[in-house]
Amino acid sequence: MSVSAEGSDEIVARLPVSVLTGFLGSGKTTLLSHLIRQPGLERLACVINEFGEVGLDHLLVEAVSGDTVVLDSGCICCSVRSDLVDTLCSLFMRRLRGEIPEFDRVVIETTGLADPAPVLHTLMSNPLVAARFRLDGVITTVDAVHGGAQFEHYPESVKQAAVADRLVVTKSDLVSPATGAALLARLRALNPGALIVIAQQGQVSPKALFDAGLYNPETKSLEVGRWLNEAAYNDGLGPDHACGGDCDHHDDHNHPHGHGHERGISSFCLLVDEPMPWQRVLDFVDALIGSHGERVLRLKALLNVAESPVPVVIHGVQHLFHPPVPLETWPDADRRSKLVLITRDLERSVVETLPIRLTQTPTRYSIL
């Protein structure tokens, strides 16, 4: 992870990108078709796999090129070329040259069997893309009828839901209240930090889906509390509950200190009381991703760094991390570092006992 930090102005200047994912038949295309018809989204660019899948026929106004069309709503739809990097850079340059209408937001729809991680890696690590775009959030559609069975048989569907910032439950009108409630409970356990939205006949308010990232365009500020959402990991234990190495519930998958264990997925929040030297943070992250990088699906953290008067935010997807972001001020009076992790086949106790620890004193990692 790089030591160089990003300022808030650098983040704001880039265009927000939402990644729309979800298993086969879960309603991604229906949701996208609804979004491109919504007032207020005239400056939306959609990167899709095939035009025919989205049903654009009666909306098509102009074919800008073989892979880009402008809709009567004002939205732009672009099919993926040979490479996502080429597609995004081409969109940006054509926007800059005035060849296509201005757009201020992008939605990338993945295929139903896709692991969203490579798309996230492209947004985070490719220098051409990262200089122009920023990841706003991951939107995952979950089929209320078949979602439970898909979780059992297809690990891709579990990972898609685990890394989401927004979970959109579709077809809920086709299941019984008990079945719907059971699916919601599984989703909350799998990914407690994600906002769950119930689609009504494939329709969702855009406000519920977008602006899930660190930057809030309404307040023109970086809002770490909304983005980190560590309060979602509180299972009624209270903020002072300590879960140290002698906790006798580490191996109990039903205890309330952690979440998940859907096909090996765990989600938890670690708190560290004391300020940490930046080098120790770097060493900890290097140890974590060096030993378990593929198992760390996402990591979000607000850090109290000893050398910094303001908190520092980091965000990682598996082995790749955004440059750290210093905030202008603390979001509240709590000065503890907070690390939210979603992992696969990696228990919290393993993270707590890495050879490189975040604290030199006897560790007081807590679970919210």
At residue 279, the 3 state secondary structure works out as helix
| Cβ atoms within 10 Å, residue 351 | 24
Q: What are 96's two structure tokens?
A: 């800059």
Please name every residue paired with 79 in a beta bridge, in sequence order, or none if there are none: 48
Q: Are 354 and 292 in contact (CB under 8 A)?
A: no
Q: What is the pLDDT of residue 179?
A: 95
User: Which residue matches tokens 């949701």?
Assistant: 31
**Residue 251: pLDDT over 50:** no
Please name every residue paired with 343 in a beta bridge, in sequence order, or none if there are none: 266, 296
What is the bridge-based pairing of β-strands 105-109 and 15-22? parallel
Alpha-carbon span 69 to 251, nearest angstrom: 53
Alpha-carbon span 173 to 315, nearest angstrom: 36
**CATH number of 8-216: 3.40.50.300, 3.30.70.2740, 3.40.50.1820, 3.30.300.30?**
3.40.50.300
| Cβ atoms within 10 Å, residue 127 | 8
Q: Are 20 and 109 in contact (CB under 8 A)?
A: yes
Look at phi and psi of residue 264 and say left if phi exceeds 0, alpha if psi is from -120 to 50, else beta.
left
Alpha-carbon span 147 to 315, nearest angstrom: 28
* Rounded (10°) angle between helices 117-125 and 84-97: 50
How does DSSP classify residue 365? -
Query: Looking at the domain covering 237-367, what would its CATH class be?
Result: alpha beta
Q: What is the pLDDT of residue 249?
A: 34
6-27 as b/e: b if 16+ CB within 10 A: bebeebeebbbbbbbbbbeebb
Using 50, 70 and 90 to split pLDDT, how confident is the model at 8?
Answer: low
Using 50, 70 and 90 to split pLDDT, how confident is the model at 254?
Answer: very low
**Residue 72: pLDDT over 80:** yes
How does DSSP classify residue 201? T
224-228 mean pLDDT = 89
Q: What is the pLDDT of residue 113?
A: 76
Q: What are 231's two structure tokens?
A: 């309060």
Alpha-carbon span 367 to 235, nearest angstrom: 9
Overall pTM > 0.75: yes
Look at 367 and 206; give whichever has higher pLDDT: 206
Q: Are 84 and 47 in contact (CB under 8 A)?
A: yes
Q: What is the domain partition of the chain in residue ranges?
A: 8-216, 237-367
**Residue 359: pLDDT over 80:** no
27-43 mean pLDDT = 90
Please name every residue paired with 63 in a beta bridge, in sequence order, or none if there are none: 69
Q: What is the pLDDT of residue 247?
A: 32
Alpha-carbon span 22 to 142, nearest angstrom: 6
Lowest mean pLDDT among 52-56, 170-174, 193-197, 267-271: 52-56
10 Å CB burial of residue 185 (0-12, 13-18, 19+) is: exposed
CA dihedral 112, 259, 363, 282 (to 10 degrees): 10
144-169 mean pLDDT = 94
322-344 mean pLDDT = 91
In what side-by-side order are the strands of the sheet with 105-109? 60-65, 68-71, 76-79, 44-48, 105-109, 15-22, 133-143, 166-170, 195-198
Alpha-carbon span 191 to 73, nearest angstrom: 34
Q: Are 295 and 263 in contact (CB under 8 A)?
A: no
79-83 mean pLDDT = 82
